Amino acid sequence: MRRTIIAIAVVLVVGAVGTAAVSQKPWLPRPDVVQPIPFSHRIHAGLHHIPCQYCHEYARRSPTSGVPPVQRCIGCHGTLAQKGALTPVTRPWTDHKGAPLEIRWNRVYTLPDFVRFAHFPHIHAGIACQSCHGPVETMDRVVPVYEINMGFCLNCHAQKRASTDCVTCHY
Amino acid sequence: MDQKVSRRSFLKLAAATGAAAAIPGCQPAARHLVPYVVPDENVTPGLPTFYATTCAECPAGCGMIARNREGRVIKLEGNPLDPIGGGSLCARGQAALQGLYNPDRLAAPRTRSGDGRSSPISWQSAMAQLISQLKAAASAGKDRVLFFGPPQGPTLRKITEAWLKAYNSQRLVAYEPISYQAITEAAQRCFGRSDKPVYQLDAAEVLVSFGADFLETWLSPVEYTRQYASFRAPRKTDGKTTMGFAVYVGPRLNLTAANCDQWLSVRPGTEGAVAMAVLNAVVEQGLVRPESGLDPNVLRQLTANFGPDAIAQQAGISAEAIRKIAKQLAQAKSAVALAGADDEVGQMAAMLLNAATGNLGVTMKFIDAPELTRVSTWSEVTDAVKAMREGAIDVLFVSQVNPVFTIPPEVGVAEALKRVKFVVWAGGVPDETAEFAHLLLPIDHPLEAWDDVSPRPGVMRLRQPVTRRVFDSRALGDLLLDCIAQSSPTPSAAPWKNSLEALKATWRDVQNQVAPAVPFDQFWTKALSEGGVYVEPKVASVTVNVSTLGEPPKPQVLADDSFALTCFPHIFLYDGRGADKPWLQEIPEPVSQIVWDNWLEIHPETAKRLDIDEGRVVEVVTKSGRIALAAHLSSRIHPQAVAIPIGQGHTAYGRYAVGRGANPWQALPAGRFVTAAQLRPTQERYQLVSPLSGGDMMGRPIVETISLEQLERGIVPQEEEPYPEPYNMFEPYQYPKHQWGMTIDLNACTGCSACVAACYAENNIPFVGKEGVAHSRIMSWIRIERYWPEEGKGPLMLKMPMLCQQCGQAPCEPVCPVFAAYHTEEGLNGQIYNRCIGTRYCSNNCPYKVRRFNWFAPSWPHPLQLQLNPDVTVRGAGVMEKCTFCIQRIRFAEMQDLTGQQRLTDGAIVPACAQSCPAKAITFGDIKDENSAMMRRRKEHALRNYRALDQYLNTQPAIVYLRSIYRERGEG
C-alpha cells in the first residue's frame, strides 16, 4: 500500500516538476532579462539613429550577428566624450585604472541546439531586424515581442517562398 | 517489513525529482553573451578561420589546414598546395586533434618525490629545479646532459644544440623508433648518398614491394596512396586497356598486399633475400639495361649467395615466381621496387633493381639538396643508453619520445634511467618513460607551437599555433631558451629571445636561398599562409658507386622448427603514439577489422596443430622476452609465421591506451622486427572485438568487381538475371534545384580509413569503446567494409566505403511514424533529430545498415568536447543518426550562394570524407549538373558504374560506385 502511494507520489512530483520545466519554455526569448548595465537601445537606435549593424556588425556575413566588443562602445564614449560631445561613460566597463572590462550580457534570444539559424541570409534577403526582434529602437530594455517558434519561422518562409524543407534549419 | 517513508527515502525521492527536472533538452542554452573587449581582427564569431600548418603525427610531414572556430581548432584538412599530402590527410593526421584535446595530457608541471608519487608544482619552481640540476651537471664535467627527443626541424635543432652547449654537452639523440636507417645505409652503399630517395609510383607500370607497407606506414603513406591510385587507374596504352601491375612479397596479407595483384607469401625475414634473388635473376637472364651503366658482373658477384633456387626454397615460394618478377621488372617500360624500412639487404636489392632496370631518376629519385633532418643511428641510441647506465649522465631531458616502450628490454633502458641523477620528461600524455621522471613538464602540442620541419631534402614547412593553449603548457623551444637565459649571464649563448625569433632567423636563410629579392615580411607572410615554401625540387643525377657496395651480403636463415614472429607498425597506432586517441582505437584495422586491441595473427592450420583457437591467449616466447596476447586466426598469413601489430600494450599513456593487448617490443631483439618464437597456448581466453561479422558477402554482390579483360572487351559482369521491371510504390520525386550525389571509385580506394576519421571529426560522432563495439553500438557514419572473395577468384580483398546511400526510393523513409526520416528537396534522406522518437524502424528497414542509434547520451571527457563542430547538432540519447553528406557544408555553401558571397559552383561543397581521401576516390556533386566532376567521373567509367544492391531492391541510391578492377590470377 505504502509502495503504491510512494510510486504515485513519485509520478506526480516528476510530472509536476517536468511540466513546470517545460512550460517555462527555456528555449524561447525571455521577457524578464535584466542586463548588467542600463544600456538603452531606444537612445542608440531610436534617438540617435545608429544602424543596427553598426554594432551588430557580423549579421551580414556570419550566422551570428555578434554583440559589439567593448572597444566599439568606447569608440564613441571615449573619444567623442573627450571632445564634450557625449557624456563620458566610464563605468562599469572600465576598472579603476581605466582598462576595459568584459561585459557579461544576459541572453534574451535563444534557440534550441537542434535549430541552426543564420543571420546573414536573412539580412541579404532584406528582412528587417525588427521582423523578428520587434521595434527594438523603442525599447530601453530589450524584451521579446514575438514568440519565436517553428510556426513563426515557417509563416514567414512560406510567405516569402523561402525553403520550408526540414533540413534547411535542422541538421 | 517497515514500509514507512524514511527520511533517507524522502531525500532519495527528492534527488530523483531534481534529476528529472534537469532533463537534457529542457535545459536553457548558455545564458550569457560575453563579447570581446578588443576584437581579434582575424576572428569573426560564427565563421571559421583557417591556418596552414604541418602534420606532426609521422615523419612524412603532410601539409594541413586547421579550421579554427572562436579560437579553437575543430578540424584538420589536407593543404592542397602541398605536394606531399596533395590536399589529403590520413586517419592519423585527422586524429591529431585528439592528441591536442586529450583529457590525460599533463595539465601542469609535476615533481616526483622519493616514494614515487608525483605532485603538481608551479612553472617557476619547476624551472628553478631544472636549472639548478643543469648547472650542477654542467660544472661536474663535459657531456653530462643528454637530450633524448624525436628528429627535429632545423630551428628546434639549433635551439637544442645551443641549450646543450650552454650546459657543456653535445649529447643529442634524435630518436625515431621505426627509423629509416636501413634506407640511408643502403643508399650510402649503393650511391654514396646519405639521404632517403623519393619514389614516383605513378610513373611506373610495374611495382614490386618486398615488405614495404607503402599504403600504411612506410615513409609517406598519403603521398604513396595518391600515387598508387593513379598507378592503378585504368588507361589506354597502345590501344589496350591496362593498369599498373603490383606484386607484394611478404609474410602477411596486409592492406598494401591486399591492394596488389599478387601476394607472394614468404617466410618472415626472407623478403630481402627474395629481392636479392630477383636481382640475381635479372643479371642471370641478361636483363640489366645497358643504359643503366651497370656492370652485370659486379651485380653477379654481389648476389652470388642469392641464387633464385636456394632462396625460393628458404622463402617457401617457387623459383619460377622469382624469375617471373625479374622479367616483369626488367621488361616493363618503367618499374619500381620497394623494400621494408628495416631491411638493409632488401633496400640494397631494391635500389640496385631500380638502377639495373633503368628506373633511377624515373621512379626512384634523389633530391639535390642537403638533408636537414638528422636521425640518430641505432648505435648512437644504444650508446646514449649505455652512457646512462654507466652513470655518465646527470640530467636526461627526454621529450616527445617513449624509449621505455619502444626499445626492447635487452637494451636496458629502464635500468639505465634509474641510474640518471635527474630525469626530466617533457611531453603531452605521460607515458611509460614519464614513470621514471623526477620532473614532468607539459609541452605544447605541435598544433600549439611555432616550429618548422624539413620532411625531406629541399622541402621546408612551417608549423604555427592554430589554437589557444588547452593546458598550462609551454613551447619546447621557449622552455629551452628560457633555461639558457636564466642560467647564463652572457646573452651570446642563444641570440634569440624566443622560438618565434629563432624560427624567423632560420627562415631568413631560407628566404636568401629561395627568394632573395622579396622583402622578408612579405616572404614570411606568404610562407606562413601557405604552410611553407613550395619549390620544385631538383632531381640529383645519381649513379651506382661500385666501390662502396662492399662485401656481398649473406642470407640470414631462421631455424626451421620455430615460428618466425614478425611485428609491423599498426596502420593507426604506428609505433604506439596513436594509442591515446580514441578515434584511432575505435576505427577497425582495415584488414583484420579488430578494434581497441592488438592480436597474434596465426594461420588456422598452424593454430589447429597447436590447439589454439580464436581468442585463445597465447604466450609468445622469444630469446628476448615473452608476451601474452589473444590469437586471431587468419588464413592470409604464412603458415610458419605469426604476426603482431605494434602500438598496444601500454602500461601508461592515458586512459585510452592502458591495458590493451601486449607490446611486442618486449619480445623483440634490439633493432629487429623479426625473430624466432615459440608459442604456448594458455588456459585463458580474451575477446577480440570487430564490428564486422565475418567476411562473406553471402552471395550478394555488395562489392562488385570487373576484370581487366572484361573492361577491355566492354562486358558488364552480371551475377544473375536482373530483376523484372522495378515497382515504384511512390511517385518519383522532383528535385527543383539540386540533387546531391557521390561517385566512389572502388579501384582507387585502398581502404585506409582516412574518410572514417574525417567523418568522426566533422560530425561530432561519439566513440563507444570496446564494450560498445562488442554490443554493435559503434557510431561511425562511414565504414570500410571488408570482404573476402571466393577462393582463387577476383581481387585479393574486397573493400568499400559504406555510408548512407541517400536512396531515391529509401526504405527508411516510409516506415518512420513521425516523419523524422524523410526525403529532402535536394535528394537527401533527411534525418531530423528533434522529431526522432527512437523507434529504430528506419534502421531495421535499411538494407545497408548505415543508421546509428544513440543508446546513451554521448560524452566527451573534458577537454575532448572542445573539438566538437559547432555547426553540427550533438545528438542525445534515443535519437537515430546517419551520414548527411555533410549537410552543414551544403547548407553553408547554399546560404553563401543566396547572399552572393560565394557562388555555388561545382566543387564548392566537399564533404569531409572526400576532402580527406588520399586516393581521391570520392567525388561529390550535383546529379542535375551533367558537367559536374562527379557526373563526368561516372560517364568516363560508364562500364564500371553500379549502385549497391540497387538491382535487387530498387533503392535508387545517389551514390554510384565504380567497380574495382582486378586481373585474373596468374595474369600479368
Q: For B43, name the nearest residue in chain A, comparing CA atoms only.
A: A58
Note whether A23 contacts B: Cβ–Cβ < 8 A: no
The average confidence (pLDDT) of chain B is 91
Note whether A14 contacts B: Cβ–Cβ < 8 A: yes
Query: Is A49 among the domain residues?
Result: yes
Q: What is the mean pLDDT of residues B396-413?
A: 95
Query: Is B89 among the domain residues?
Result: yes
Backbone angles phi, psi at B522, to 5 degrees: -65, -45
Task: Please check whether residues B211 and B347 belong to one and the same domain.
Answer: yes
Please list every residue in chain B whose beta carbon sits closer than 8 Å to the beta carbon of residue A166: 822, 824, 830, 832, 835
Residue indicated by cell numbers 573476402: B788
B33·A105 Cβ contact <8 A: yes
pLDDT of residue A89: 62
B834·A112 Cβ contact <8 A: yes
Contacts of B588 (CB under 8 A, 6+ apart): B594, B595, B690, B691, B692, B753, B783, B784
Task: Please check whether residues A76 and A155 belong to one and the same domain.
Answer: no
pLDDT of residue B20: 39
Tell me the residue type at B868. Answer: L
Query: Is A3 among the domain residues?
Result: no
pLDDT of residue B14: 45
Query: Is A1 among the domain residues?
Result: no
- The rounded distance, in Å, linking the Cα atoms of A7 and A2 is 9
Last residue of a domain, one of A80, A104, A128: A104
CA dihedral B239, B242, B243, B249 (to 10 degrees): -140
pLDDT of residue A34: 85
Query: Is A39 among the domain residues?
Result: yes
Confidence of residue B715 (pLDDT cuts 50, 70, 90): confident
A170·B3 Cβ contact <8 A: no
Distance from the A98 Cα atom to the nearest Cα atom in chain B, whole angstroms: 13
Task: Please check whether residues A48 and A72 belong to one and the same domain.
Answer: no
pLDDT of B295 strictly over 70? yes
Return the higher-pLDDT residue of B12 and B508. Answer: B508
What number of other Cβ atoms are within 10 A of residue B541's Cβ?
9
Task: Please check whether residues B142 and B85 belong to one and the same domain.
Answer: no
Distance from the A38 Cα atom to the nearest Cα atom in chain B, whole angstroms: 16
Distance from the A63 Cα atom to the nearest Cα atom in chain B, whole angstroms: 6
Q: Are B665 and B651 in contact (CB under 8 A)?
A: no
Tell me the residue type at B737. Answer: K
C-alpha cell at B357: 632496370
Backbone angles phi, psi at B357, to 5 degrees: -95, 10
B828·A125 Cβ contact <8 A: no
- The rounded distance, in Å, linking the Cα atoms of B294 and B939 is 47
Task: Please check whether residues B386 and B422 belong to one and the same domain.
Answer: yes
A114·B828 Cβ contact <8 A: no
Please list every residue in chain A whose beta carbon sits closer than 8 Å to the beta carbon of residue B872: 171
A125·B884 Cβ contact <8 A: no
What number of other Cβ atoms are within 10 A of residue B776's Cβ?
13
B224 backbone φψ class: left, alpha, beta (φ>0; ψ -120 to 50): alpha
Return the higher-pLDDT residue of A60 and A2. Answer: A60
Note whether B734 contacts A: Cβ–Cβ < 8 A: no
Confidence of residue B26 (pLDDT cuts 50, 70, 90): very low
Residue B311 belongs to a domain with what CATH number? 3.40.228.10
Please list every residue in chain A whose beta carbon sits closer than 8 Å to the beta carbon of residue B22: 21
- The rounded distance, in Å, linking the Cα atoms of A80 and A85 is 6
pLDDT of B27 strictly over 50? no
Task: Please check whether residues A153 and A75 belong to one and the same domain.
Answer: no
Last residue of a domain, one of B514, B533, B552: B533
Q: What percent of chain B has pLDDT over 90?
A: 80
Distance from the A48 Cα atom to the nearest Cα atom in chain B, whole angstroms: 23
Task: Please check whether residues A79 and A54 belong to one and the same domain.
Answer: no
- The rounded distance, in Å, linking the Cα atoms of B52 and B48 is 13
- The rounded distance, in Å, linking the Cα atoms of B355 and B190 is 10
Alpha helices in B465-546, H assignment, sequence order: 476-487, 499-514, 520-530
The three-state secondary structure class of B397 is strand
Q: Are B797 and B786 in contact (CB under 8 A)?
A: yes
Q: What is the mean pLDDT of residues B537-552?
A: 88
Q: What is the mean pLDDT of residues B893-911?
A: 91
Query: Is A63 among the domain residues?
Result: yes
Backbone angles phi, psi at B275, to 5 degrees: -60, -45
Closest to A41 in 3D by CA, of A132, A134, A140, A130: A140
- The rounded distance, in Å, linking the Cα atoms of A137 and A145 is 13
Please list every residue in chain B whose beta carbon sits closer than 8 Å to the beta carbon of residue A71: 36-39
- The rounded distance, in Å, linking the Cα atoms of B226 and B222 is 6
Last residue of a domain, one of A82, A104, A126: A104
Question: Which of A57, A73, A113, A124 is most worth mutating to test chain B (most B CB atoms within 10 A of its CB)?
Answer: A113
For residue A75, the enclosing domain spans 68-104
Task: Please check whether residues A162 and A111 belong to one and the same domain.
Answer: yes
Please list every residue in chain B whose beta carbon sits closer than 8 Å to the beta carbon of residue A100: 37-38
Distance from the B895 Cα atom to the nearest Cα atom in chain A, whole angstroms: 6
Task: Please check whether residues B887 and B942 belong to one and the same domain.
Answer: yes
Q: For B832, name the nearest residue in chain A, comparing CA atoms only.
A: A170
C-alpha angle with apex B885: B880 to B886, nearest 5 degrees?
Answer: 90
Contacts of B712 (CB under 8 A, 6+ apart): B240, B241
In Å, how far are B25, B501, B840 from B29, measured between CA atoms?
Answer: 9, 43, 28
Query: Is B882 among the domain residues?
Result: yes
Query: Is B836 among the domain residues?
Result: yes
Distance from the B854 Cα atom to the nearest Cα atom in chain A, whole angstroms: 16
Q: What percent of chain A has pLDDT over 70?
A: 74
Confidence of residue B546 (pLDDT cuts 50, 70, 90): confident
pLDDT of residue B211: 94
pLDDT of residue B232: 96
Closest to B54 in 3D by CA, of B444, B449, B501, B509: B449
Task: Please check whether residues A87 and A111 belong to one and the same domain.
Answer: no
Task: Please check whether residues A35 and A112 belong to one and the same domain.
Answer: yes
Tell me the residue type at B238. Answer: D
Strand partners, B959: B742
Residue indicated by cell numbers 643528454: B146
Confidence of residue A11 (pLDDT cuts 50, 70, 90): low
A68·B35 Cβ contact <8 A: yes
Contacts of B801 (CB under 8 A, 6+ apart): B744, B749, B755, B782, B783, B784, B785, B913, B921, B922
**B320-374 pLDDT per residue, tens:** 999 999 999 999 999 999 999 888 899 999 999 999 999 999 999 999 988 888 9
pLDDT of B12 strictly over 70? no
Task: Please check whether residues A55 and A114 belong to one and the same domain.
Answer: yes
Confidence of residue B22 (pLDDT cuts 50, 70, 90): very low
Size of interface A-B (CB pairs under 8 A): 156
Question: Which of B899, B901, B903, B904 is most worth mutating to test chain A (most A CB atoms within 10 A of its CB)?
Answer: B899
pLDDT of residue A4: 72
**A77-104 pLDDT per residue, tens:** 776 666 666 666 655 566 667 666 788 8
Task: Please check whether residues A76 and A122 belong to one and the same domain.
Answer: no
For residue B297, the enclosing domain spans 198-365
**B76-130 pLDDT per residue, tens:** 999 999 999 999 999 999 999 999 999 999 999 999 987 888 999 999 999 999 9
ipTM of the complex: 0.86
Q: Are B235 and B362 in contact (CB under 8 A)?
A: no
Q: What is the mean pLDDT of residues B361-390?
A: 93
Task: Please check whether residues B142 and B93 belong to one and the same domain.
Answer: no
**B432-487 pLDDT per residue, tens:** 999 999 999 999 999 999 999 999 888 899 999 999 999 999 999 999 999 999 88
Task: Please check whether residues A96 and A112 belong to one and the same domain.
Answer: no
Q: What is the mean pLDDT of residues B873-883?
A: 96
**B30-61 pLDDT per residue, tens:** 678 888 888 888 889 999 999 999 999 999 99
Distance from the B36 Cα atom to the nearest Cα atom in chain A, whole angstroms: 5
Partner residue opposite B46 with nearest CB, options A58, A103, A163: A58
Query: Is A40 among the domain residues?
Result: yes
Confidence of residue B652 (pLDDT cuts 50, 70, 90): very high
- The rounded distance, in Å, linking the Cα atoms of B775 and B690 is 10
pLDDT of residue A26: 62
Please list every residue in chain B whose beta carbon sits closer than 8 Å to the beta carbon of residue A13: 13, 17
CA dihedral B797, B798, B800, B805 (to 10 degrees): -170
The three-state secondary structure class of B68 is strand
Residue indicated by cell numbers 561519439: B766
Note whether B26 contacts A: Cβ–Cβ < 8 A: yes
Pairing of the two strands B110-112 and B72-78:
unpaired
B28·A110 Cβ contact <8 A: yes
> Number of folded domains in chain B?
5
Last residue of a domain, one of B314, B341, B365: B365
**How many alpha carbons lie under 13 Å from residue B338 in its C-beta half-sphere?**
31
Strand partners, B631: B600
**B610-631 pLDDT per residue, tens:** 999 999 999 999 999 999 999 9
Pairing of the two strands B422-427 and B395-399:
parallel
Task: Please check whether residues B348 and B251 belong to one and the same domain.
Answer: yes
Query: Is A10 among the domain residues?
Result: no
DSSP string, B675-735: EEEEEEEEEEE---B-SS--S--TT--SS-EEEHHHHHHTPPP-SSPPPSSPPPSSPPP--
Q: Are B761 and B583 in contact (CB under 8 A)?
A: yes
Backbone angles phi, psi at B961, to 5 degrees: -95, 145
Task: Please check whether residues B341 and B454 belong to one and the same domain.
Answer: no
- The rounded distance, in Å, linking the Cα atoms of B810 and B828 is 10
Task: Please check whether residues B254 and B213 belong to one and the same domain.
Answer: yes
Closest to B272 in 3D by CA, of B340, B173, B182: B340
Note whether B36 contacts A: Cβ–Cβ < 8 A: yes
B window 857-916, beta carbon within 8 A of A: 871-874, 884, 887-888, 891, 895, 898-901
Q: For B871, name the nearest residue in chain A, comparing CA atoms only.
A: A116
- The rounded distance, in Å, linking the Cα atoms of B250 and B269 is 9
Task: Please check whether residues B380 and B360 belong to one and the same domain.
Answer: no
Q: What is the mean pLDDT of residues B551-572?
A: 84
Query: Is A5 among the domain residues?
Result: no
Query: Is B490 among the domain residues?
Result: yes
A window 64-123, beta carbon within 8 A of B: 64, 66-72, 100-107, 110-116, 118, 120-121, 123
Q: Tell me the range of A96-100, B696-700, B777-781 where mean pLDDT is highest.
A: B777-781
Distance from the A47 Cα atom to the nearest Cα atom in chain B, whole angstroms: 24
Residue B65 belongs to a domain with what CATH number? 2.20.25.90
Note whether B42 contacts A: Cβ–Cβ < 8 A: no
B275 backbone φψ class: left, alpha, beta (φ>0; ψ -120 to 50): alpha
B576 backbone φψ class: left, alpha, beta (φ>0; ψ -120 to 50): left
Pairing of the two strands B641-646 and B395-399:
unpaired
Note whether A58 contacts B: Cβ–Cβ < 8 A: yes
What number of other Cβ atoms are within 10 A of residue B89's Cβ?
30
DSSP string, A100-154: B----EEP-----TT----HHHHHHTT--THHHH--GGG-SS----S--SHHHHH
Task: Please check whether residues B402 and B338 belong to one and the same domain.
Answer: no
Question: Which of B9, B31, B829, B894 is most worth mutating to test chain A (most A CB atoms within 10 A of its CB)?
Answer: B31
Q: Are B45 and A59 in contact (CB under 8 A)?
A: no
What DSSP character marks residue A76? I
Q: For A9, name the nearest residue in chain B, comparing CA atoms only.
A: B13
What DSSP character marks residue B570? B
A18·B23 Cβ contact <8 A: yes
Query: Is B852 among the domain residues?
Result: yes
Task: Please check whether residues A91 and A127 belong to one and the same domain.
Answer: no
Distance from the B593 Cα atom to the nearest Cα atom in chain A, whole angstroms: 30
Last residue of a domain, one of B337, B365, B393: B365
User: Of all helices (H) and strands (E), which one includes residue B276?
Assistant: helix B271-284
Task: Please check whether residues A83 and A53 belong to one and the same domain.
Answer: no
> Number of folded domains in chain A?
2
- The rounded distance, in Å, linking the Cα atoms of B45 and B48 is 8
- The rounded distance, in Å, linking the Cα atoms of B362 and B336 is 9
A114·B834 Cβ contact <8 A: yes
Distance from the B818 Cα atom to the nearest Cα atom in chain A, whole angstroms: 13
Residue B651 belongs to a domain with what CATH number? 2.40.40.20
Query: Is B414 among the domain residues?
Result: yes
Return the higher-pLDDT residue of B19 and B549. Answer: B549
Task: Please check whether residues B869 and B833 belong to one and the same domain.
Answer: yes
Partner residue opposite A10 with nearest CB, options B13, B31, B828: B13
**B739-748 pLDDT per residue, tens:** 999 999 999 9
Q: What is the mean pLDDT of residues B847-872?
A: 95
pLDDT of residue B25: 42
Distance from the B496 Cα atom to the nearest Cα atom in chain A, whole angstroms: 32
- The rounded distance, in Å, linking the Cα atoms of B411 and B409 is 5
Task: Please check whether residues B347 and B451 belong to one and the same domain.
Answer: no
